[in-house]
Structure 1
Amino acid sequence: MPTALVTGATGLSGNAIVRHLQGLPEWTRVLTLSRSRQVSPHPKITHVTVDLCEASDSIADSVKGQIQGIEYVFYCAYLADPDPDVTFNVNVQMLQTLISVLRRSGALPSLKRIILVTGLKQYGVQLGQPKQPMHEADPWLEGEPWPKNFYYEQQRTLINAAREDGDSWSWVVTYPQDIIGVARGNFMNIATALGLYASVSTSLGQGEIPFPGAKKTYLAFNSWTSARLHAEFCVWAALKPEAGNQGFNVTNGDTESWHNLWPRLVERYGGKIPPVMFPHGDTGSFGDFEAWHSVSQFQPAIVKHEEAIGLKGEFSTRHNEVHQQIDTVKWAQRPEVRAKWEELREEFGLESETWDKATWRFATFLLSREFSCVVSMSKARKFGWTGYVDTWDAFEETFDTLEREGILPPAQKLKRGTHRI
């Protein structure tokens, strides 16, 4: 009867893992840790409010008596900061602290495996176009000219810690892509931003809901990861002996595009697709909204591979431009938009912090990167993983849950407005 510890238990990944473990009768005890919010009460759940930025000895005292006998650790904790050096240091330190807590609190005798959740920054997608598709064996982007990446240091921390403990436990790292899931009070989730954008657009506008991002993004291909499927994978990888000391891409198993998904989203919210989605071509703005541009100071990730693939010099001189025909950050701040949101919030009794917690800048990046973003699932398949979720089904499931939990307004009850945005 396995037992688990889940850190970052109220985030997108952690919340899905906790929910999945609750439904598995063979998992008898789950200890959850988070900084602020508590997980929903459940007979097999014990929650402890812990800040992994604190000293490990004080945390060990807080969880002592609860952590003994824990066999599997699902590490989903993450903190962001505007300063990349702070983000690097704090996220590496939190994992190091957790390992120290396990040692100090007497948890090592029962510990079997730590599962670390990271993402596609593993391949430098935040820097610009990567090699396609991305494979786990791709080289890390380290040293000049690349910025520091805490994913790499976290993985080194796991490798070294396991060796220091005599390889008495093993590790697994997952690389999900653009997770689609639910987390109350933590809305770094493209589904929440999309649901808000479509809800307000339908209620405020004449029904047309333009894609806010770039034309190249609209036509590109992408992989997504259902939070529920990722949770199932993490539990599978925890118990799969052969998966130990390995990193795995984890996506839904299909390849999708916005030009296939967007019409479905618009239809769900009772809107219409504009007959000319990009009236100004690849650049410019839609209506009276300014386009948004950003240029990365770093070279695109594919530069690491350009000589090996016979394209030396093809990418190293390119700039990394991000473009939106509708700047969602500015759109979300417009008086009529916020007023319509407040009207919907009052009408349907929605979570008051939803709008301000929605990560519009995160949506800006995901809707505006002008390259495909596809990963290979071959390694996981070779290890025996057979999980699959249709990406649109994952979005629908998430929208339904966000509506039931009072984060998004119910799409079927929205009224179409008469003010064109």
Structure 2
Amino acid sequence: MEKENSSTDASVALIVGVTGMAGFSLAEALQKPTTPGGPWTVYGVARRPLPGWFPSSLIDCFISLDALDCADTANKLSPVAHQITHVFWVSLQVHENEEVNISMNSTMLANVLNTLRSATPSAIRHVTLLTGTKHYMGPIFDPSLAGKLVHHEPPFKEDLDRLPYPNFYYALEDLVASYLPSITHSVHRSSIIVGASSRSFYNTLLTLSVYSAICRHQGLPFRYPGNKYTWDHFCDMSDARVLAEQQIWAAVTEGARNQAFNCTNGDVFTWKSLWKVLCEVFDVEFVGYEENDEKFDWVAMMKGKGEVWDEIVEKYGLLETKMEDLACLEALNVVFHFEFQHVCSMNKSREFGFLGHADTLKSIPMWVGRLRDMKIIP
């Protein structure tokens, strides 16, 4: 049953992409009685039905729709559109070509916002938009631009100019800004998100979990598949809980309206230090970086292990998944071969009043535990 909100001050969230890492943590955060702006009514949207690991108690109403389809979006959202006060946009469609990404992601967001605006009366006040550090690096996963991109120098800061490349993050920022002043917005540029879901396209921790499980299952060494630069130099991450906290803070804080904020844990790590933590939590032997590892084509190796993952799923009674749906091999391979320190500045966020943080090396074991509890990994 849907909750009716008679108060004009009621906070009703629509999480678009609720079954991804960011959406799942947002749903958990919004249901807490101490969350700012509450009590919240939480509606969740995803293209597919809720997975078995997702507690139905986290949302008051689930809506399955295809946001690329204007008619389907309008039909499914119209009955509740007059209630929605805040949109948390944590959804994305990903293709290799960035122009396609621009078209598809812009279409989805416009379909949802136009449906909410057409409600009588319309209650929508704020859009929270999740993007990421491709804002500062360009479309790094588009093979047609490989070797052509020039990134900003880290640490990445929010006031850096846009890069001269197509980028669907830029398109989405321009789209939400076009609804001013009637609808305010905030933009949240995450780093590598670490969280729990079986449905996030870019899920580094889940990819590494699958890789380690296959290595352990077959008695293979858990080799670091990146270069020496990333092994030794700094990187940062975004715990999905910190990201949810910042998104909610910005949604209800007047001074944060119409601003863009980086969102990381506030610390940095090296892959060398993180690899030790991963080996301990995955129960595999630590193997340090070796020069020969750079010749190791782990993407090709892993692509031949789909049947091995099927064996692991059956052996441990896991959620029925296919390896190719869980592991973002090519994307993570790009990250492993950066030749610059992937570090964002959190100064603006702190200056505006958001002080959330997490210890990256401590958050990893916690999230691995969540993935195990959800029966996604062994």
Cα contact 2:22–2:240 (8 A) shared by 1: yes
Partners of 1:74 and 1:43 lie apart in 2 by 15
Q: 1:255-301 deviations in whole A, cap 9, x for unaligned?
A: 11101111121122232233x62143xxxxx4xxxxxxxxxxxxxxx
In structure 2, list runs of 5 or more residues that go unmatched.
1-9, 141-148
Residues 218 and 259 in structure 1, CA contact (< 8 A), matched pair in contact too: yes
- Paired residues of 2:84 and 2:124 also in contact (CA < 8 A): yes
| In structure 2, C-alpha distance between the alignment counterparts of 1:44 and 1:34, rounded to whole Å | 12
Matched, 1:216 2:232: no
* Secondary structure of the structure 1 residue equivalent to 2:250: helix
Alignment of 1:355-366 (within 5 A): 355-357=323-325, 358-366=327-335
What is the 5 A alignment of 1:64-143?
Answer: 64-106=78-120, 108=122, 110-124=123-137, 126=140, 127=149, 129-142=151-164
RMSD: 2.0
* Structure 2 contact 77–116 (Cα < 8 Å) conserved: no
Q: Among 351, 354, 360, which residue is 1:385 paired with? A: 354
Q: CA deviation at 1:40?
A: 3.6
CA contact (8 A) 1:249 1:376 kept: yes
Corresponding residue for 1:28? Answer: 40
1:343 paired residue among 311, 325, 339:
311
Cα distance change on mapping 1:346 and 1:30 into 2, 3 Å: same
**How far apart are residue 339 of structure 1 and its match?**
5.0
> CA shift at 1:375, angstroms?
0.5
Question: Which residue of 63, 66, 73 corresponds with 1:59?
Answer: 73
Q: 1:185–1:353: 8 Å Cα contact kept in structure 2?
A: no
Match of 1:405 in 2: 374
1:46 maps to 61
1:342 deviation in Å?
Answer: 3.2
Distance 2:242 2:210 in 1: 24
How many aligned positions are there? 353
Distance in 1, matches of 2:198 and 2:291, equals 37
Instruction: Tell me if structure 2 keeps the 8 A contact 1:213–1:325.
Output: no
DSSP 3-state at the match of 2:56: coil
Query: Could you tell me how far apart the structure 2 residues matched to 1:104 and 1:32 are?
Result: 20
Identity of aligned residues (%): 26
Structure 2 length-normalised TM: 0.87
Residues 78 and 116 of structure 2 are in contact (CA less than 8 Å); yes or no, is this contact kept in structure 1?
no
Q: Which residue of 1 aligns with 2:253?
A: 240
Structure 1's 269 and 34: CA in aligned 2 closer, same or farther, altered over 3 A? Answer: closer
Match of 2:143 in 1: none
2:338 match: 369
Task: Give SS of 2:88's match.
Answer: strand
Kindly provide the CA deviation profile for residues 300-334 of structure 1, in whole angstroms up to 9, marking residues without a partner as x. Answer: xxxxxxxxxxxxxxxxxxxxxxxx54322211133
Letter in 1 for 2:367: T
Residue by residue over 1:332-367, the C-alpha shift from the partner in whole angstroms, topping out at 9 and shown as x without a partner, is 133xx4454333222211123241212211221122
Q: Does 2:299 align with 1:329?
A: yes
